[in-house]
Structure 1
Amino acid sequence: MKPSQFAKGFQARPDTTSSEKRTALDRLNAIDGLVQDKPKARETAGRSSQPEPIAVTTDDATSPVENESAEYRAWRLEQGYRPGQIIELPLKAIKASPFNPRHFYLKTSIAELAVNLAKQGQQQAIHVIPDYAAPGSYYVSDGGRRVRALKEANKEVVKAIVVDLPIGLESYKLGYDLNVQRDSQTVFDNAVVWKRFIDDKHFQSQRELADHLGLDESTVAVALSIGKLPESVMHEMVARPDRFGSNMAYQVGRYHGARGTDATLRLINRILADDLSTRQVADIVKGRATPQESPKPAGRQRYAQRLEIKLDGMAVGDLKSYGDDRLELRLKGLSKDRRDAILHQIEEMLKV
């Protein structure tokens, strides 16, 4: 099968330095390097229209940039913009990209970030792409959650870096790669967005999509299967990534195909209440057990209380109590420094 026009468009403008191909993520790292190597220009708060060009030397603003697109160069010369420069843009000029890798944003997470931004201000710039067809507006390439939280906090401007990317798979892949590094990309985001890619004929098959994302075809197939679920069902699982990974969500999707939405929502509640494993849910799907039965192994103790633990607004695990004398702490996705610091604090607490 011939590659789709969308896929051809992704291949039409590769980023290369000599013979070495550069990915969108490489380009972003290079931009961030410019920001770190050069002094940051002063940012003026409160602008409500086009961003004023920040004072830079003529050489900085007009120097040619390798592999720069003609549209981006024309835009930045008009604005006096230096690649990698942090400027402030009006929030009303920022709009979601049709190729945003995220689909689900938890209200509680946005609210928590809004409180943080209200107190400390925006610490990290988002990345945006000019909409050349609508001058003065910009697509979010990375930072959709921050944009939503700034609006929640009633802010009017956002710190941004304007990047040279085409709106399409390359901009999608940039956001996707960054979200994967932050562990914020979920199988449910993939399910909805990848299904839309196929439905809109951006890709002719799941194999073509997998090839261009650099993923195994089975990974894409599982996500597309989950994508058949109603969003009301997916919303019940999005908030608990510790319990609903791709395998569990796949089994829930199979159950939904056989039993419908209401029964599936009851199953999800049962999974959370009884801490069912993926294998136990698979048995329910195959008819070896029912959601009303308790397929847990004999001797498995039900926890008395459970406390979800969040760090920087993200769920990282939980603390469960059993009976009168047992606690179980589970944390994941921590940096080594954070893990060691928590371990040290626990050791100090347990000293007699």
Structure 2
Amino acid sequence: MKSSQFAKGFQARPDTTSSEKRTALDRLNAIDGLVQDSPKTREPVGRASQPEPAVDSAGDSLAAPEHESAEYRAWRIDQGYRPGQIIELPLKAIKPSPFNPRHFYLKSSIAELAVNLAKQGQQQAIHVIPDYAVPGSYFVSDGGRRVRALKEANREVVKAIVVDLPIGLQSYKLGYDLNVQRDSQTVFDNAVVWKRFIDDRHFQSQRELAEHLGLDESTVAVALSIGKLPETVMQEMVARPDRFGSNMAYQVGRYHGARGTDATLRLINRILADDLSTRQVADIVKGRATPQESPKPAARQRYAQRLEIKFDGVSVGDLKSYGDDRLELRLKGLTKDRRDAILHQIEAMLKAK
């Protein structure tokens, strides 16, 4: 691949081998240990803290960690930075990486975190990589959500650890693998970013992309199909990962190709309101049903116990129990006073500790 295919500040390098990947993961996993070994009290240095020089046996001003890249070593010696040290950086110096595996961040989640940060301050440092081509600026490696929340909270600085990690597509692959381990990577993130990789010709085909990520080509193909959806449609599904996995999103994408955005948004609302299954949505896509049709009712769950309720010898309803955690009370034919009295008694029981 040509270096011109990469964003400014990144280098084109061969695909990461398993050995290189382990080295990068080792660097990241070692960060917590470095932080624990660093002094507890630090003084800001240009809003960042100056480390106390660490002298090794050879007399170097700063000891070089194992596997340290030459570029990072030159930067940290010039800055007087100790690996793993938490420093404060201007928030305006932090920028998103064009190889960030995450694309979607829920506004509600960012707003909630912003309120928390405003009250308690930033408790966990983000990880950043120096933009060696633009001194004084940094790419976010881990902590994009915190950066957005700090901006929402009108903060001017961010606590950060400057890390020595691969750049370019290697940076994406490392972040992707870590997000998969954390279960925070979504099919919609993949859809947008992978489509951009193909459009920008970082990869010549979906097969090449699949091989680079170590995935089945069919998995990449489904994501690229979903990536054709407008972001307004994907945003409606991102907030409900429990309902919109890759298979459901794929069917929604097929429907959008035939019916357009407005009809697709109505279908998404119907999926949520009527709890449609992927098979039911597939039938709609194939024309076997319409979004306006009521889906086939699911088989009713059999109650475990049933208690008939009588007032003055007359049956007015029943109380049913299902499984271990569900009760269903159904009453009818009551006077308003009796209904209200029962309601108040139930409320009192639920409020009782």
TM-score by length of 2: 0.78
**Counterpart amino acid of 2:200?**
D
Q: CA–CA distance in 2 between the matches of 1:222 and 1:15?
A: 26
In the alignment, what sits opposite 1:51?
Answer: 48
Gaps in structure 2 of 5+ consecutive residues? 302-324, 331-349
Find 1:11's aligned residue among 14, 39, 42: 14
Give deviations 1:191-235, integer Å, cap 9, x for gaps: 000000011010111111111112221111111110000111101
Q: 1:102 to 1:298 in 2, by over 3 A?
A: closer
Q: 1:58 to 1:298 in 2, by over 3 A?
A: closer
Greater shift in the superposed pair: 21-30 or 84-93 = 21-30
Q: CA–CA distance in 2 between the matches of 1:13 and 1:240?
A: 33
In the alignment, what sits opposite 2:87?
Answer: 87
1:108 aligns with 2:105: no
Gaps in structure 1 of 5+ consecutive residues? 302-319, 326-348
In the alignment, what sits opposite 1:209?
Answer: 209
In the alignment, what sits opposite 1:144?
Answer: 144
In the alignment, what sits opposite 2:38?
Answer: 39
SS of corresponding position for 2:141: strand
**Counterpart amino acid of 1:53?**
Q
TM-score by length of 1: 0.78
1:153 aligns with 2:156: no
- Return the index of the structure with the highest Cα Rg: 2
**Counterpart amino acid of 2:99?**
F
Identical residues among aligned pairs (%): 80
**Counterpart amino acid of 1:187?**
V
Q: CA–CA distance in 2 between the matches of 1:141 and 1:323?
A: 50
Q: CA–CA distance in 2 between the matches of 1:62 and 1:147?
A: 29
Could you list the runs of 4 or more consecutive aligned residues of structure 1 that deviate by over 6 angstroms after TM superposition? 3-8
Pairwise mapping of residues 1-352 of structure 1 onto structure 2 (< 5 A)?
Answer: 9-11=12-14, 16=19, 22-36=22-36, 38-44=37-43, 49=46, 51-59=48-56, 62-297=62-297, 299=299, 324=329
Q: 1:23 to 1:238 in 2, by over 3 A?
A: farther
Give deviations 1:73-130, integer Å, cap 9, x for gaps: 1100011112222211111110011111111111110000111112222122111000
Q: Is the 8 A contact 2:43 2:50 kept in 1?
A: no
Q: Is the 8 A contact 2:38 2:84 kept in 1?
A: no
Give the superposition deviation at 1:21.
6.1
SS of corresponding position for 2:14: helix
Q: Is the 8 A contact 1:42 1:54 kept in 2?
A: no
RMSD of Structure 2 on Structure 1 (CA) = 3.0
